[in-house]
Amino acid sequence: MLIKTGIPTPEDLEKVYPSEERMLKGPVAIIECFQKIPCNPCTEACKQGAILPMKDINDIPEMDFEKCNGCGVCISRCPGLAIFIVDRSYSEKEAIVRIPYEFVPLPEVGQKVVGLNRAGEELGTFEVKKVQSGGKKNMTYTVWLAVPQELCMEVRNIRLGGVTHGE
Amino acid sequence: MKQTEILVVGGGPAGLCAASAAAELGADVLILERDSKPGGQLVKQTHKFFGSKKQYAGDRGIQIGDFLLEQVESNPKVEVWPDATCLGIYEDGVVTAEKDDKHIKIKPERIIIATGAAEKALMFPNNDLPGIYGAGAVQTLMNVAGVVPGKRVLMVGAGNIGLIVSYQLLQAGVEVAAVIEAAPHIGGYLVHASKIRRAGVPILTSHTVKEAYGNDTLEGAIICRLDEKWQPIPGTEQDIKADVMCLAVGLSPLTELCWQAGCKMKYIAELSGHVPVRNEYLETTRPGLYVAGDVSGVEEASSAMVEGRLAGISAALSLGYGKDKAPQLQAEALAELKELRSGPTGEKIMNGIMKLLGKEGAAC
């Protein structure tokens, strides 16, 4: 259960997924935000009007998937780092998952990094296709990762070597 | 004796917003800040804030702190005294402070206390071993001093502070062994929990520390599961190796000055302890003495900023400033607070405030 473990359940996720048909069309935002908290920057980030305005600031974000063009502006604007973009139109075998990332060092384009699921379990190594800055002030990066189609709804984080103080 | 119209005690989010709001209406303000850099807890908040644009949502706490400080420093009506600790508030209205090793007397016409809160401790054997810190202390060590606290951390408490500091430890390259939480549910925002969970940190609810161990410094802790009555379940002990333990088990309002000033105090569990009784505009039972932020009930920085603004406007208005626009500004601040507290996460705070205002059971 999400409230006990921090891991959203398949039932939680089902509520926020676009239709398969929409997913195959091209990049689309998936907002993995399941709790009513006072927060609304996502609604102001979206210039397409795809993230619907909230009546109450505590509302859970709602999407109009047909309006979403997958631009990804919302990814780095969400304070909870809860928005991902999935593009299943990337190739027959692979999809692109765009992930918010706030760790150093940043991965480099072409680098193979470990993909993690929502429980932090390793799913394999995948290639980084693009690294986008959220801007000097925002400081959240977006990492584009090519993953097998069947893992595009599983991979939600990456791990690469870096500075650790363990040794 | 130093004269000022409004004295703000504490230069955190509430105090800085109170000073700006009061000065904008025309009042002269003096801020006393114990630390060498004002900003309160904002100086170490490297994560993005929630709320709405009005409370700078999406910006990081450190950026908000700098912005609020610039705002007061650019206002000639505000004087900021860093490294100045308020010592007492007396019956004749004189406030004493220590600054640059000198004992200073101040005579303000109004006082706004925005002293914030302090971290709570937890009782268990060996809780005095070096390596056991308050989570806020570790955040200061890392994000202000640039020092990592150790190699592997056990975080106790899955409220927002525990979750956020865990994330920041990971960002600093420190391993987080686990986050344990005595309650059956994660108390902080679930998006914060998901962020550290997908980085591989287990979150164990219904778990507590049985004891810590180590020769000279912390080497690990025995944790165990709790039943529905919060009693340890025998046989569920686990040994977690860690050289650092962070306690993020809640905050207590820092109310010493309110007690000493003779404000009527009330114990409200929902507001995290004894808090001064105050009216809707944050004036306490001592006329001319206002409170804002965590000292009046532990909450988020977003509401502390709005409370600060409300106290600042109200104090300035009571001195005759901004008679035309202050009532409108007060109404706006009250509406923002209501909005921030209207959801399920604000329910506890609303209940606490209703108890404090003596309106239990009344619709808010």
**Closest Cα of chain B to A98: distance in Å?**
15
Confidence class for position B364, pLDDT limits 50, 70, 90: very low
**Closest Cα of chain A to B265: distance in Å?**
29
Nearest to B8 by CA among B280, B271, B282, B273: B282
Domains of chain B in start order, with CATH, are 2-118+251-356 (3.50.50.60), 123-247 (3.50.50.60)
CA gap B19, B81 in Å, rounded: 12
Cα B73 to chain centroid distance, Å, stands at 22
DSSP chain A: -HHHHS---HHHHHTTPPPHHHHHHS-EEEE---S--SB-HHHHH-SSS-BPPPSSTTSPP-B-TTT-----HHHHH-TT--EEEEETTS-SSEEEEEEEE--SSPP-TT-EEEEE-TTS-EEEEEEEEEEE---TTT--EEEEEEEEGGGTTT--EEE-----S--
- Cross-chain Cβ contact B186/A44 below 8 Å: no
Q: List phi, psi (to 5°) of B338.
A: -60, -40
Q: Which residues of B touch A166 (CB under 8 A)?
A: 151-152, 175
List Cβ neighbours of B301 (8 Å cut-off, separation of 6 or more): B13, B41, B42, B45, B49, B61, B64
- Whether residue B338 lies within 8 A of chain A, CB to CB, comes out as no
CA gap A163, B136 in Å, rounded: 23
Bin A161: left if φ > 0, else alpha if -120 < ψ < 50, else beta: beta
pLDDT score for B358 = 85
pTM exceeds 0.90: yes
Q: Write out the two tokens for A95.
A: 């999809």
* Cα first-last separation, chain B: 44
- Whether residue A54 lies within 8 A of chain B, CB to CB, comes out as no
CA gap B339, B346 in Å, rounded: 9
Q: Which residues of A touch B150 (CB under 8 A)?
A: 165
Helix (H) or strand (E) holding B142: helix B135-143
pLDDT (tens digit per residue) in B260-273: 999 999 999 999 99
* A8, A40, A166 ranked by CB distance to B194: nearest: A8
- Given CA atoms B247, B251, B257, B259 in this order, what sign does their dihedral have? negative
- Tell me the average pLDDT across B61-78: 97
- Whether residue B241 lies within 8 A of chain A, CB to CB, comes out as no
- Tell me the average pLDDT across A56-67: 96
CA gap B122, B218 in Å, rounded: 15
pLDDT score for B273 = 97
- Tell me the average pLDDT across B229-234: 97
Spell B339-360 as b/e; 16+ CB within 10 A means b.
Answer: bbbbbebbebbbbbbbbbeeee
**Closest Cα of chain B to A7: distance in Å?**
6
CA gap B362, B340 in Å, rounded: 19
- Whether residue B343 lies within 8 A of chain A, CB to CB, comes out as yes
- Whether residue B146 lies within 8 A of chain A, CB to CB, comes out as no
Do B276 and B284 meet the contact criterion of CB atoms below 8 Å apart? yes
pLDDT score for B279 = 96
* A57, A118, A166 ranked by CB distance to B339: nearest: A57
- Whether residue A164 lies within 8 A of chain B, CB to CB, comes out as yes
Q: Which residues of B touch A40 (CB under 8 A)?
A: 52, 57
CA–CA distance from A90 to each of A37, A144, A162 (Å)? 34, 11, 29
Do B231 and B253 meet the contact criterion of CB atoms below 8 Å apart? no
Q: Write out the two tokens for B349.
A: 């705070």
Q: Which of the residues A7, A57, A159 would you substitute to probe the B interface, choosing the one with the greatest number of B C-beta atoms within 10 Å?
A: A57
Helix (H) or strand (E) holding B46: none
Nearest to B204 by CA among B244, B243, B166: B166
**Closest Cα of chain A to B203: distance in Å?**
6
pLDDT at B361 over 60: no
pLDDT at B139 over 60: yes
- Whether residue A103 lies within 8 A of chain B, CB to CB, comes out as yes
- Cross-chain Cβ contact A140/B48 below 8 Å: yes
- Cross-chain Cβ contact A80/B302 below 8 Å: no
- Cross-chain Cβ contact B345/A6 below 8 Å: no
CA gap B66, B288 in Å, rounded: 29
- Tell me the average pLDDT across B118-147: 96
| Cβ atoms < 10 Å from Cβ of A135 | 9
Confidence class for position B334, pLDDT limits 50, 70, 90: very high
Please give the DSSP secondary-structure letter assigned to residue B91: T
Rg (Cα) of chain B, in Å, rounded?
Answer: 21
pLDDT score for B363 = 46
- Cross-chain Cβ contact B343/A40 below 8 Å: no
Please give the DSSP secondary-structure letter assigned to residue B164: H
List Cβ neighbours of B46 (8 Å cut-off, separation of 6 or more): B60, B61, B62, B143, B168, B171
**ipTM metric:** 0.96
Q: Which of the residues A2, A16, A36, A39 would you substitute to probe the B interface, choosing the one with the greatest number of B C-beta atoms within 10 Å?
A: A39
- Whether residue A44 lies within 8 A of chain B, CB to CB, comes out as yes
- Whether residue A53 lies within 8 A of chain B, CB to CB, comes out as no
* A41, A56, A165 ranked by CB distance to B148: nearest: A165
| Cβ atoms < 10 Å from Cβ of B1 | 8
